[in-house]
Amino acid sequence: MFVFLLLSSRYLELSTRRNSITTVSRMEKSMPEVASRLSDDGSVNHVDVLEIGVGDRVLVSPGEIIPADGVIVNGATTIDESILTGESSPVFKKSGDAVVAGSINIENGIRVRVNRTAQNTALSRIVHLTDSAQSAKPKVARIADKIAGKFVLGVLLLTLFACGYWWFRDSSILLPVVISTLVVACPCALSLATPTAFVATMNLLTKRGIIPIRGEFLEDITNVTHIVFDKTGTLTKGALSLNHICTAPNWNKAQVTQIATALNLTSKHPFADAFRDLPGSNGKMASQVSHTAGGGIAGTINGKQFTIGSLNFIKSTTRLSGECEALVEARKNQSVCYLANEGKIIARFEFSDQLRSDAHRVIKKLRQGGLSLLLLSGDNHSVVSNTAQSLGIDQYKSNLSPSEKQTVVKHLQHQGAKVAVVGDGLNDAPVLASADVSIAMGQGADLSKINADVVLLNNRLSDLLDITNCANRTSWVIRQNLMWAIGYNLLAIPAALAGIVPPWLAAIGMSTSSLIVSLNATRLLSHQPHHKLTNWSP
């Protein structure tokens, strides 16, 4: 019975860890070994996927796995990205859309231009980050290990005391008492209580396309009092559409659009995507381009210096004349950027964006959980105000630079707040780095550059509720495990010292204690959150 119970507890613990490892291994094994590379003459060569380089074109037939991150240059199809996002529904992709390694082409053959090699794909980065997060021990687990070490020393000292006591009292039961005391003590329950629960939860999140980068975020997020949201790409879809252009005299819409597109070709801001999607773009890039995070872009086109970005950025980099005042005022509830040349604003571009479909529900649930919510954005006041009011966010600030967002977060922290920041990872690196917990939307930027604790690959705000529910549930399971482990040892060890517990019962008790802790932790693997959040803390 002792062997059975002990091995059962070890089996449950290893099963939990193996499930987590399997998730990562499945990602690694999803990469193909051979790719069909297209030559300049149109012929197809089957080569090792490691030989594929940036700029190569590969043919991906229906049913094949995409061998590297890239962009579709010919064809349209549906792609299964569940290996990355956990989302089972296929995604339609057409020419110009990005595809990621490890996803499966379902319907039609496509040609893909590679922009990352197999070693640097988003999938390989996810595997590395997930493995690192799961191998790291959370703070409470390290504390439990220290307690377990001191616990063992304490049990040995108590056993020596029992030897002396029973030697003089009744030496006939000395050996049974010593054996029972050493066997009944269960430090492994203390050491298993935390890491098994954490590994189970991170495995569950990874399967749902929520990638933990820092394992300790599950502990930290249960203490959060404030959540700071970015607007564009976070609360909104980030798919901006250009709906109005106002130009200065002697400039027409076609001219300013081509200039803006040339400046934005290397940018990853949603504004840049809106320009690139416009018909008639000639694909030429400006020279001597410089980017200012949260501000704008400066560059040279045909020997002339142009600047595009926010009004504050334009004013800080250009000495404006009074002739451009008519172009400054934009219509309400429109995101705006300006184009300047030779000290004059020559164009105003107005964009519209849509709230994410789950934004209202998520904000409502978080408010019901007792959290303070803030909206910090670099967008103009009317847009930010309208977004905040429509979502029911009382605190908001507009026209902020990345450093100003960081200052707001640090001010909250100095007042004792624990702050989580949710951003798109583009201009939010400083504020994400300053947060107690940082959460990035997967669409924001290259995963290798995201300075976040967790990445939402599905770009669903509702995943934020999954995270908080899983973190709260994990915290509660850990408390249950620790209370059981401590309570068991406080009762069992004195009983063994008193000679009440025979050795056979001590063996059963010790192995059963480990079994209970492991069973309790494995419940997390089957947890199905329903996006209900009544209280942030359990």
Strands 57-60 vs 335-341: parallel, antiparallel or unpaired? unpaired
Go through 395-427 and write b for each residue having 16 or more CB atoms within 10 A of its CB, e for each that does not. ebbbebbbeebbebbeebeeeeebbbbbbbbbb
Exposure of 391 by Cβ count < 10 A (0-12 exposed, 13-18 middle, 19+ buried)?
Answer: buried
3-state secondary structure (DSSP) of residue 494? helix
- In the numeric block, which tokens belong to residue 33? 């070994």
What torsion, rounded to 10 degrees, do the Cα atoms 295, 301, 306, 308 define? Answer: -40
8 A C-beta contact, residue 517 and residue 8: no
Q: How far is CA 502 from CA 178, 182, 230, 506, in A?
A: 10, 12, 62, 6
Check if the beta carbon of residue 384 is closer than 8 Å to that of residue 398: yes
**Are 400 and 376 in contact, with CB atoms under 8 Å apart?**
yes
CA distances from 426 to 26, 126, 322, 377, 445 (A): 29, 18, 33, 12, 6
Phi and psi at 299, nearest 5°, equal -165, 170
Residue 424 annotated in active site = no
Contact 511, 9 (CB under 8 A): yes
Q: Which of 80, 220, 230, 424 is catalytic?
A: 230
| Side chain identity at residue 247, one-letter code | T
- Rounded to whole angstroms, the Cα distance separating 507 from 2 reads 6
**Selection from 115, 95, 82 nearest residue 268 by Cα:** 115
Helices (H), 211-252: 217-220
Which three-class secondary structure state does DSSP give residue 235? Answer: helix
Number of other residues whose CB lies within 10 A of the CB of residue 446: 13
Q: Which string of DSSP letters, residue by residue, matches 346-397?
A: EEEEEEE--B-TTHHHHHHHHHHTT-EEEEE-SS-HHHHHHHHHHHT--EEE
Q: Please identify every residue annotated as catalytic.
A: 230
